[in-house]
């Protein structure tokens, strides 16, 4: 792909995905995430030509300029959008697909000193929230979403949403995933949760009741929708008031 065509494609993708983008010129001049990707294109070419020192030096210059640390050995797809950019780290053996969106503080890192493939593979059209950490040789499937602050240590299926530390699936193929087994959460406090769940189940059995976790989520969603509808009719402050 010609260089100018790549630039035009990247700018157009930002205009489509970022509602704060007002003009193409603004995007080209004021979006460090784009500059980080463009600098990486050059450093990656140097890396492939075995000019490793020059590639690393250029990547460090890009890190100083943009706040994004992308190893020149990483493979990046087309139309990668790194919004706000600061603090993003992408490791040497990471693979990022096309139309991926990342926010500030995202880390695609390793978990040890082993050689070979040791960084994540991010498939097409994945969204990664700010300060999420994806560690190790894992794969995040197409169209998946990683919640802000999540720590992903295992593979994520396509069309899934994961949140938490460590991350677990909460949505898959547009449907809410109900966790009925505390082992699925893989939380450091799982043993306590398992004991608590067992005690609740025992009490419900003694009272003749039956657990219906889906009803809890339905009620929660209805209450959230009613609260949002109420907020739409309130006006707390006028735009610009007090400035």
Q: What is the CATH number of the domain that holds 158?
A: 2.160.10.10
pLDDT tens, 179-213?
A: 666 566 666 666 676 777 778 878 878 787 555 55
* Domain end point (choices 178, 199, 232): 178
Say if residue 77 is in the same domain as residue 14: yes
Full domain range(s) for residue 235: 180-243
* Domain end point (choices 143, 178, 213): 178
Our measurement of the distance from residue 85's CA atom to the centroid of its chain's CA atoms, rounded to an integer in Å, reads 13
pLDDT tens, 134-163?
A: 999 999 999 999 999 999 999 999 999 999
Say if residue 47 is in the same domain as residue 93: yes
| CB 140, CB 120: distance < 8 Å | yes
Say if residue 29 is in the same domain as residue 147: yes
- pLDDT above 90: residue 234: no
Say if residue 18 is in the same domain as residue 74: yes
Say if residue 94 is in the same domain as residue 148: yes
Q: What does the pLDDT read at residue 161?
A: 93
Q: What does the pLDDT read at residue 80?
A: 93
Which of 69-73, 98-102, 121-125, 203-207 comes out lowest in average pLDDT? 203-207
pLDDT band at 170 (very low <50, low <70, confident <90, very high): confident
- pLDDT above 80: residue 169: yes
Radius of gyration (C-alpha) of the chain in whole angstroms = 22
Say if residue 133 is in the same domain as residue 48: yes
> Going edge to edge, which strands form the sheet with 139-140?
75-76, 95-96, 121-122, 139-140
Q: What does the pLDDT read at residue 141?
A: 92
* Domain end point (choices 147, 178, 209): 178
Mean pLDDT of the 45-52 span: 93
Mean pLDDT of the 71-87 span: 91
Mean pLDDT of the 117-134 span: 93
Mean pLDDT of the 107-115 span: 85
Mean pLDDT of the chain: 84
**End-to-end CA separation in angstroms for the chain:** 48
Say if residue 113 is in the same domain as residue 174: yes
Q: What does the pLDDT read at residue 116?
A: 85
Say if residue 198 is in the same domain as residue 221: yes
Say if residue 158 is in the same domain as residue 140: yes
**Structure tokens that stand for 25 in this block:** 């010129």
Q: Is 161 exposed, middle or buried (0-12, 13-18, 19+ CB in 10 A)?
A: buried
Q: Nearest-5° angle of CA 126, CA 40, CA 64? A: 105
Say if residue 173 is in the same domain as residue 209: no
Tell me how many domains the chain contains: 2
Say if residue 204 is in the same domain as residue 139: no
Q: What does the pLDDT read at residue 130?
A: 92
| C-alpha span between 44 and 76 (Å, rounded) | 9
Q: What does the pLDDT read at residue 232?
A: 72
Say if residue 173 is in the same domain as residue 194: no
Q: What does the pLDDT read at residue 242?
A: 47
pLDDT over 70 percentage in the chain? 84
């Amino acid at each position: 792909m010609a260089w100018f065509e790549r630039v035009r494609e990247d700018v157009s993708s930002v205009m489509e995905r970022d509602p704060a983008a007002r003009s193409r010129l603004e995007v080209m001049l004021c979006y460090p995430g784009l500059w980080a990707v463009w600098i990486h294109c050059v450093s990656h070419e140097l890396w492939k030509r075995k000019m490793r020192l020059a590639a690393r030096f250029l990547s460090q210059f890009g890190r100083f300029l943009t706040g994004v640390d992308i190893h020149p050995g990483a493979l990046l797809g087309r139309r990668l959008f790194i919004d706000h950019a600061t603090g993003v780290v992408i490791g040497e053996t990471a693979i990022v697909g096309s139309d991926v969106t990342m926010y500030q503080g995202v880390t695609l890192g390793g978990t040890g000193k082993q050689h070979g493939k040791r960084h994540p593979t991010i498939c097409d059209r994945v969204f990664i929230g700010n300060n999420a950490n994806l560690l190790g040789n894992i794969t995040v499937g197409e169209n998946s979403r990683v919640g802000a602050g999540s720590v992903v240590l295992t593979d994520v299926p396509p069309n899934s949403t994961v949140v938490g530390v460590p991350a677990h699936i909460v949505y898959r193929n547009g449907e809410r995933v109900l966790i009925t087994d505390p082992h699925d959460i893989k939380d450091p406090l799982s043993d306590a949760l398992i004991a608590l769940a067992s005690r609740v189940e025992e009490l419900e059995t003694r009272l003749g009741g039956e657990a219906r976790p889906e009803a809890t989520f339905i009620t929660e969603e209805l209450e959230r929708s009613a609260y949002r509808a109420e907020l739409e009719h309130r006006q707390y402050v006028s735009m610009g008031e007090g400035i």
